[in-house]
Amino acid sequence: MRAVIQRVKSASVTVEGEIVSEIRQGLLVFLGVAQEDTPADVNYVANKIANLRIFEDDEGLMNLSILDMGGEALVVSQFTLYGDCRKGRRPSFIAAARPEKADPLYQAFMDEISRLGVSVKAGIFQAMMDVELINDGPVTIMLDSNKLF
């Protein structure tokens, strides 16, 4: 499971001209599911994101998690995180899970991070979405449950 995590001042998802989800300060999480992902990957990524200390404390140090500061998370499914561009000019998405596997794990991720205490909003699985954000910092973190970057 891969996640691109952006610390944001605000973020929203629009589908067909209508805002379907929006958050104030918190995290925008683009989440990709791989063919080999399991519930263990869901738990690892959810726990890591909920407890990442990437928000500033009173001294300006990144010492607070989203749980500590009471922020929200907007989670957007994004299979393109598994785009392999090593050969040719068109990305291959073979490593990405098919929708019938990816959607339940995407939903499980949102359930797990919510269970951990994070207020969660979501995009619409498989929809064409316009994502708007005001990046805070900018702070952008990449996370992969299967390897280190």
CA distance linking residue 39 with residue 61, whole number of Å: 33
SS3 129: coil
Q: How much is the pTM?
A: 0.94
Domains of the chain: 2-144 (3.50.80.10)
> What gap in Å lies between CA 13 and CA 3, rounded to an integer?
17
Q: What is the pLDDT of residues 18-47, one digit of tens each?
A: 999 999 999 999 999 999 999 999 999 999
| Residues in contact with 85: Cβ distance below 8 Å, sequence separation at least 6, in sequence order | 91, 92
pLDDT value at residue 91: 96
Per-residue pLDDT at 149: 44
Rounded to an integer, what distance in angstroms lies between the CA atom of residue 131 and that of residue 121?
13
Residues sharing a CB contact under 8 Å with residue 16, sequence separation 6 or more, in sequence order: none
Angle (nearest 5°) at CA 147 between 74 and 141: 35
Residue of 14, 38, 80, 140 marked catalytic = 80
80 is catalytic: yes
- Say which amino acid occupies 60: G
